[in-house]
Amino acid sequence: MAETAIVRVRHCGAAIFSRRVPERCPSCGRPLRGSDLPDAPLRLPSPFRHGHRQPRAFLLRPTAGTFLGGYDGKSDLHVGITNSNGVVYNYDAEGVQRAGTGWEQCISVPLVQPHMFGLLQQWDQLLEEFSAGQAWLPHRYDEHEHNCYTYALAFVNSILAAQGKREMSKSEFTEKFVIPQTKRAARYITLHQELTANEFYIVPLPQQEEQG
């Protein structure tokens, strides 16, 4: 499903979300002119990225469908690691897959900083060599104990170990890098779903923020 814009204006003590800036406030009916608004309309940045345009990143997407295409917040998620060309290496019951399509709407966690020149140059070779390991043969796959997340985190930890850094547990990596992104995505999905069904979504602001 194609992504459409979500904009927010503040008026009548509420945040008003819609697909475009309304001419009049849906609460009071007054025109929403610049001088009558406490701040400029804001276009919300999407938390989702085209995964194949995100080199050297940890990607997260629904196993079936897309985040904005009916994801219910409970269905299984699939993760992968991109190489420098945006090919997504991901592990499933058929072994390590190298996907050039299918990850067009993802949560993306960059894994390499621009100053890490050596790692930038070696990334593709390291990812390919790691993926050829015996641990990632199809028969080793287990949905709960040895899965796509196991594979992706093991690769991240292999990079950390090679740099002399401490490895991360699944809970540590998830809490530090994944949960902040998924919380932001969940809020955006809620807005998207509300605006799919309604022209406006109105949220009362905390009292200290009420203006207009």
Model confidence at 1: pLDDT above 60: no
Residue labelled with tokens 């966690």: 109
The alpha carbon of residue 155 and the mean position of all alpha carbons in its chain are separated, in whole angstroms, by 20
In this structure, which amino acid lies at residue 97?
Answer: Q
- Give the whole-number percent of the chain exceeding pLDDT 70: 94
Helix H, strand E, coil C: the string for the chain is: CCCCCCEEEEECCEEEEECCCCCECCCCCCECCHHHCCCCCEECCCCCECHHHCCCEEEEEECCCCCCCCCCCCCCEEEEEECCCCCEEEEECCEEEEECCCCCCEEEEECCCCCCHHHHHHHHHHHHHHHCCHHHCHHHCECCCECHHHHHHHHHHHHHHHCCCCCCCHHHHHHHHHHHHHHHHHHHHHHHHHHHHCCCEEEECCHHHCCC
Residues 13-62: pLDDT tens digits?
999 999 998 989 998 898 887 666 777 889 999 999 999 999 999 999 99
Global pTM reads 0.88
Phi, psi of 176 (to 5 degrees): -80, -40
106: β partners: 49
| pLDDT at site 35 | 60
Residue labelled with tokens 């992104």: 181
Residues 66-116: pLDDT tens digits?
999 888 878 899 999 999 999 999 999 999 999 999 999 999 999 998 788
| pLDDT at site 115 | 80
Q: Are 10 and 38 within 8 A, CB to CB? A: yes
Query: Which is more confident, 90 or 207?
Result: 90
| pLDDT at site 75 | 85
